[in-house]
Amino acid sequence: MENKRLGILFIFLMSFVVMGVQEHQAFAHSQTGTITGDRVNVRESPSLTASVLGQISMGERIDILSSQNGWIRIAYGNETAWVSGQYIRTGKNERPASSNQFVHIQTEGTNLRSGPSTSSAVVVKGSVGERYPIVGRSGDWIKIRLASGNEAYVADWVVSSAKAVASTLQGKVIVLDPGHGGVDGGTSGSLGTIEKNVTLQTAKRLSDELTRSGATVILTRSDDQFVPLPARTEDAQQHGADAFISLHYDGAHSQKAAGFTTYYYHSGHKQLARSVNQGLYGTLSSSNRGIKTGDYFVLRENHRPAILLELGYLTNPNEESSIVSAAYQAKAAAGIRDGLLSYFTY
């Protein structure tokens, strides 16, 4: 009887040893990937509401253990954690593009790089109006063919490309509302940035982006003028807006406050808020403060689908320095565009 108990105990212990070996082998043969975003949040579980354990910098290599609903479980120190899959490039992410697709250079001096990362060497700088054939994609980067026949990479948030999904915006009427204006300057930053100016800059950049995608865009103001709130909502009603987007930049007493927030008021407009928030999450590296209900006049008194975006904190010196850059505003515009494409697709 004693020998039998010892035998059972031996089998039990050996099962743990085998399981440990199998887990070690699975870890040793896990797939590897590269982080494509800047300061990507590492979370405790696969959810935007999960606790942030830390951040990983662009270009870092990680071990991929498994995936779940767009999230990737990775080895993180001596533990495991989760990262959004959209910020990880693997060999599977490298995919050929269909023929007859081109990128169009929108900004003078656009960097065309040797690899799909901002740390890759600049091969050449593109000029406004140039177009290059697309030969593949890698995460948020587009592989193109240069006139010399060589290949290079360009970030998809700084160029315009012919995408099939762009047809979902064809004929849609989008009213963009650059917050504040005239005597109403809005929030100001420690570096001297005035909200009314950057909301207008962002609105014009976004207008160009949406127009290229086939939308009809109406701006509630196109220069530094004061526009009463009722007039802004009337624009949405008068033009039968398919979406009304009010653009703002936030402020707080604490300089540590950071991130972007998406507001809606009417429950029927929540899906628009959710889609655009997800689009911004895919392009902006700043923290996502989520979607919230906001009792703002341009939302409450609006009968058309309406949201209000706070795209970052001017009172945070680090965010302020990013917000004023063309790159940040281009990423914000690309995120809003992607969110609208998703909203009108489903």
What tens digit of pLDDT does each residue of 151-160 get? 889 987 777 6
In a domain, 320, yes or no: yes
Name the domain boundary from 127, 161, 195. Answer: 161
Name the domain boundary from 134, 161, 188. Answer: 161
Predicted local confidence at residue 60, as pLDDT: 75
Work out the pLDDT band at 288, boundaries 50, 70, 90.
very high
Q: What is the pLDDT of residues 20-74, one digit of tens each?
A: 434 343 344 457 777 766 567 888 888 877 888 888 876 677 888 888 777 888 9
User: What total of structural domains would you count in the chain?
Assistant: 3
Domain co-membership, 47 together with 149: no
Q: What is the CATH number of the domain that holds 40?
A: 2.30.30.40
In a domain, 172, yes or no: yes
Say if CB 142 and CB 131 are below 8 A apart.
no
Name the domain boundary from 54, 73, 92. Answer: 92
Q: What is the pLDDT of residues 96-114, one digit of tens each?
A: 444 456 777 767 788 899 8
Domain co-membership, 197 together with 240: yes
CA gap 257, 65 in Å, rounded? 33
Work out the pLDDT band at 336, boundaries 50, 70, 90.
very high
Domain co-membership, 56 together with 104: no
In a domain, 10, yes or no: no
CA gap 60, 49 in Å, rounded? 24
In a domain, 4, yes or no: no
Distance of CA 212 to CAs 209, 270, 311, Å? 5, 26, 22
In a domain, 317, yes or no: yes
CA gap 118, 122 in Å, rounded? 9
Domain co-membership, 147 together with 220: no
Domain co-membership, 263 together with 309: yes
Q: What is the pLDDT of residues 245-269, one digit of tens each?
A: 999 999 999 999 999 999 999 999 9
Domain co-membership, 101 together with 219: no
Say which residue, 95 or 38, is predicted with more confidence.
Answer: 38
CA gap 197, 186 in Å, rounded? 9
Predicted local confidence at residue 91, as pLDDT: 56
Predicted local confidence at residue 20, as pLDDT: 43
State percent of the chain over pLDDT 90.
41
In a domain, 190, yes or no: yes
Predicted local confidence at residue 179, as pLDDT: 97
Predicted local confidence at residue 213, as pLDDT: 82
Domain co-membership, 148 together with 278: no
Q: What is the pLDDT of residues 159-199, one digit of tens each?
A: 765 443 445 788 899 999 999 999 999 999 989 999 999 99
Predicted local confidence at residue 273, as pLDDT: 96
In a domain, 188, yes or no: yes
Domain co-membership, 175 together with 243: yes
How confident is the model over 301-310, as a mean pLDDT?
Answer: 97
Say if CB 291 and CB 262 are below 8 A apart.
yes
Domain co-membership, 173 together with 280: yes
Would the pTM count as exceeding 0.75? no
3-class state of residue 27 by DSSP: helix
pLDDT above 70 for 17:
no
Domain co-membership, 75 together with 38: yes
Work out the pLDDT band at 239, boundaries 50, 70, 90.
very high
Q: Domain limits at 116?
A: 94-161
Domain co-membership, 173 together with 301: yes
Work out the pLDDT band at 2, boundaries 50, 70, 90.
low
In a domain, 16, yes or no: no
Measured in degrees and rounded to the nearest 5, phi and psi for residue 293 equal -80, 140
pLDDT above 50 for 94:
no
Predicted local confidence at residue 341, as pLDDT: 85
pLDDT above 80 for 285:
yes
Q: What is the mean pLDDT of the chain?
A: 82
Of the segments 63-77, 111-125, 205-219, 303-317, which one has the largest average pLDDT value? 303-317
Say which residue, 267 or 1, is predicted with more confidence.
Answer: 267
Say if CB 35 and CB 56 are below 8 A apart.
yes
Domain co-membership, 145 together with 289: no
Q: What is the CATH number of the domain that holds 309?
A: 3.40.630.40
